Structure 1
Amino acid sequence: MTAQPRVLTHVSSRRADEAFYRVPVTQVIRETADTVSLLLDTSTVSGEAFTYRAGQFLTLRVEIDGSVHDRCYSMSSAPMLDRNLQVTVKRERGGVVSNWVHDNIDGGSEVEVSGPGGVFVLGPGEDREIVAFAGGSGITPVFSIIRSALATSSRRIRLLYANRDQDSVIFAGRLDELINVYPSRLTVEHHLDSDNGVVDADEVRTFVLGVDEDADYFICGPGPFMDTVEAALKTTGSDLERLRTERFVKPTISAHANAGASMTETVGIRLNGRKTVVDYREGNTLLQTGRAAGIRPPAQCETGSCATCIARLVDGEVTMMNNDVLTQDEIDDGWILTCQSIPMTTSVRIDYE
């Protein structure tokens, strides 16, 4: 992609709130053996800092052994239904923050969190069908979206929910309750890898048979699961203009991007009125390049989902490894996600202003 001359000002509204606030944890709910939900009392923060839309996330900041760690967690609460904001955290093998949350937070604790961000949310269309695919903890934002849509619209919803086994199904009982309340509007198909192996393309294609042509699609879960679902949907003729994805992991740099980055020598960064020229280190994103130079560019999710790290591409070319937030028009207008952007020319200049 190449820099473009126009400016698109409204994209900054997609950024997550970069300020952090200390809020009490009113309750910790054990969802499964390795998953907990934290109920946060954000009423202690004045204003609308925690006004959110179903499907969005916040950033949790913790200090562990002297090091500060930021992690993004989707809200599993529904904004129009729940008094307290809720995030759900699955313990990950080797997960520094997730393990700390499980081992250290209880009712009465305080946590430091940012305001909401992200665009994995319902768009306009009160009558359009919703087709959702969730894998494991990817149910978190999807659950918020489903509850909100059922309570505030007449939309029909289909969910394919994949898990390792029965014991790992998050919100199993609450999904059953929703089916009982909305039997004609909510269909949930559970997939257990222990019984059927992993979800494949044929299962996805079968699941979307008879779906409305103008349906909204949502996919969230492990990378391979999401890749399988998205690739299968492309073969069905589904209208993917309304497809939204949410990734919980950072994508890896492709061989193509690495090849382009090998020719890059310098990156120019303008932030807070200050211009800095940085020697480029092969394999780094533009965000990482700024950090290595001692600059503190804005960032939160670092998966291409929140737009906190957006900047204008003033000169040069980059390739974005993942983009779940910018439209093609916004990209054509020169906006990039610096956490996902790898330089592809001898020099690149970006502007955070």
Structure 2
Amino acid sequence: MTTDSYLLTVTEVIEETEDARSIVFEVPPELTDTFAYVPGQFLTVAVPSERTGLVARCYSLSSTPHSGRHQITVKRTVDGYASNWLHANLRAGDTLRVLPPSGIFSPKDLDDDFLLFAGGSGITPVMSIARSALEKGSGQVVLFYANRDERSVIFAGALQELAARYADRLVVVHWLESVQGLPSAAQLKAFAAHFTTYTAFVCGPAPFMKAVTDSLKELDFPRARRHQEKFVSLGGNPFGEVEEVLAAQAVLDEVDDGDEEGDEPGAAVVTGPVTVEVELDGEQHTFDDWAGDKPLLEFLEDKGLDAPFSCREGQCSACACMVLEGEVTMRNNEVLDAEDLADGIRLACQSMPASEKLRITYSG
């Protein structure tokens, strides 16, 4: 299935730190609604590749929706092909193929009190949430930001300005490994213990997120007030057969014209007609003809529903839904943990029916 993607012009490349750059896109007026987003969401970007035409990567928006700005922030990693390519090659005036905003790492109410944890480049979506809450909400915002050293702090100047402007609502705590060492679980728990009524958002390296999340669980933060973002490098191509991919494939076909048989999709537990009740965007839909021959996401799209998605590979959480009744099996899952699964959260792009009736919601 082909996904609608768009060539956007880069208007600015901002050097945030030695290893982090922000990329600002121009979104033409006719795409304003298509690229509308909420704080904490991400863009999926096609980075040029000589072998495959492109590689897909998800980068969080560090800008705010109300600013009318579409800015992602990319931290270069030693072995990261995409981040290194963007840092070395991208300039103002260039174009990149981009999918519309997606993701579920977003607050439901900007008037909440927020406890935000960010590690390294995990500040990117957290910055969007913090700015939005301060500029459009009314609650308190506490940010715990961990970095290797002072030179690694992305948005240091912007955070200083926000702290001065919202001195009565924003508290920023910088934790530097070069000074304090890595934050321990006990230290994180002691810090969070002062804000147990707040809504928590956590983003950063996996060990950091686990330590924070474990601390929040020990403090009895309910699941509804614990949110965690995960970075995953996409292995598939969510852009479809765009010209970059077709050109690369033509080159490969000249080298190897042999036929290859792909793996058949895993068989669904239930193959007869399945009834599906779906709550999406506040509306209820009922269908009684899911044959189990395609994933839930594709079935809903065939029915004309604008169900959220990004990678279609089970490698991001953009298509996550909650199964309230019935069962599904997932072909692939690289982002949901045991607690997510226990709560009934599933990836619609990978879900096949395992019962004759399903009741699903996207409202979380």
TM-score, length-normalised on structure 1? 0.72
Partner of 1:173: 157
Give the letter aligned to residue 12 of structure 2. Q
Aligned residue for 2:62, secondary structure, equals coil
Measured after TM superposition, the shift of residue 337 of structure 1 is: 5.1
1:305 aligns with 2:304: no
Partner of 1:217: 200
Q: In structure 2, what is the Cα distance between the partners aligned to 1:55 and 1:162? A: 18
1:235 aligns with 2:223: no
In the alignment, is the contact (CA less than 8 A) between 1:72 and 1:301 conserved in 2? Answer: no
Q: In structure 2, what is the Cα distance between the partners aligned to 1:102 and 1:348? A: 48
Q: In structure 2, what is the Cα distance between the partners aligned to 1:274 and 1:206? A: 49
Structure 1 stretches lacking a partner, 5+ long: 1-16, 252-264, 277-296
Partner of 1:226: 209
After superposition, the C-alpha distances for 1:50-84 in whole angstroms (9 at most, x for unaligned) are 00001100100122113120000000000112x32
RCO greater where, 1 or 2, for CA within 8 Å and sep 6 or more? Answer: 1
Aligned residue for 1:208, secondary structure, equals helix
Partner of 1:113: 98
Change (3 A) 1:320 1:181: same
Query: Please, which of 330, 338, 344 is the counterpart of residue 331 of structure 1?
Result: 344
In the alignment, is the contact (CA less than 8 A) between 2:315 and 2:335 conserved in 1? Answer: yes
Measured after TM superposition, the shift of residue 250 of structure 1 is: 6.6
Give the letter aligned to residue 336 of structure 2. N
Q: In structure 1, what is the Cα distance between the partners aligned to 2:113 and 2:313? A: 29
Change (3 A) 1:238 1:309: closer
Partner of 1:27: 12
Give the letter aligned to residue 223 of structure 1. A
In the alignment, is the contact (CA less than 8 A) between 1:61 and 1:111 conserved in 2? Answer: yes
Change (3 A) 1:337 1:69: same
Q: In structure 1, what is the Cα distance between the partners aligned to 2:117 and 2:328? A: 39
Give the letter aligned to residue 88 of structure 2. D
| More moved, 96-105 vs 235-244 | 235-244
Q: In structure 2, what is the Cα distance between the partners aligned to 1:28 and 1:266? A: 41
Q: In structure 2, what is the Cα distance between the partners aligned to 1:184 and 1:51? A: 30
Measured after TM superposition, the shift of residue 104 of structure 1 is: 0.8
Partner of 1:71: 57
Q: Give the aligned length.
A: 294
1:97 aligns with 2:82: yes
Aligned residue for 2:188, secondary structure, equals helix
The residue correspondences of 1:47-58 to structure 2 (distance < 5 A) are 48-58=33-43
Change (3 A) 1:41 1:310: farther
Q: In structure 1, what is the Cα distance between the partners aligned to 2:81 and 2:126? A: 25
Partner of 1:192: 176
Percent of aligned pairs sharing the same letter:
35
TM-score, length-normalised on structure 2? 0.70
Structure 2 stretches lacking a partner, 5+ long: 235-263, 272-289, 295-308, 359-364
Q: In structure 1, what is the Cα distance between the partners aligned to 2:292 and 2:331? A: 22
Partner of 1:286: none
Change (3 A) 1:308 1:190: same
After superposition, the C-alpha distances for 1:183-204 in whole angstroms (9 at most, x for unaligned) are 0100010011111221211221
In the alignment, is the contact (CA less than 8 A) between 1:219 and 1:245 conserved in 2? Answer: yes
Give the letter aligned to residue 130 of structure 2. I
Partner of 1:281: none
Query: Please, which of 198, 212, 232 is the counterpart of residue 249 of structure 1?
Result: 232
Aligned residue for 1:113, secondary structure, equals strand
Q: In structure 1, what is the Cα distance between the partners aligned to 2:222 and 2:292? A: 44
Q: In structure 1, what is the Cα distance between the partners aligned to 2:6 and 2:312? A: 15
